[in-house]
Amino acid sequence: MEEFCNLDRDIEGSAKSWKKFVESECPEKEKFPQEWKNKTALQRLCMMRAMRPDRMTYAMRDFVEETLGSKYVVGRTLDFATSFEESGPATPMFFILSPGVNPLKDVENQGEKVSLWGQGCSSPMHFYYLHLSVSLFQIQGSLCNTCHLLIIQKSGSLLYQYQGIIARERTALGSRR
């Protein structure tokens, strides 16, 4: 830990500079005061953890970008058309969602592009939606089963918007293929 041996004295001796750094809205974007700005990325990350643990997510992002490159922190966009083409009855699409993310509009747009919609219809011809907004109880499970059987008969697709389908229901649906 000799790399940090005079940090406490430097903070006391340059309190104004350190106060400005620590109270910054985005300290991970600021340069550390004095010679501390010349420390390695990992050492700066350790100091950030000690002084502003609330900013570690952002500091880690910057650390990864600096040490490994920006390709590891830039979000990827989904090529929905390609994924849609690769999906099918034996290869369904699954979306693992974060709060605030809803792929429904992308699914609808792709459905229109590949003519899943009927001509002049506001509802899908071969694309059936099941929206479950509450937990799947016994009666809703049977509704789920009924919709799945209808989809098999019509060779359509089924989109469950409810993410809480329990394992028993998934297993039951999967066994009908």
- Would you write out the chain's pLDDT as a tens digit for each of its 177 residues? 788 998 999 999 999 999 999 999 999 999 999 999 999 999 999 999 999 999 999 999 999 999 999 988 887 777 778 887 887 767 777 776 666 677 777 777 776 776 554 444 444 433 444 333 333 444 455 666 666 666 566 555 555 555 454 444 455 555 554
Q: How far apart are the first and last CA of the chain?
A: 61
In 2-55, which residue ranges form alpha helices assigned H by DSSP?
Answer: 7-13, 15-22, 41-51
Is residue 157 within 8 Å of 151, Cβ to Cβ?
Answer: yes
* Burial state string for 161-174 with b = 16 or more CB within 10 A and e = fewer than 16: eeeebeeebeeebe
Is residue 158 within 8 Å of 130, Cβ to Cβ?
Answer: yes
Identify each DSSP E strand in the chain by its residue range: 127-130, 157-160
Where are the chain's structural domains?
2-72, 80-87+98-174
What is the spatial distance between Cα 144 and Cα 165, in angstroms, rounded to a whole number?
10
Supply the pTM of this predicted model: 0.48
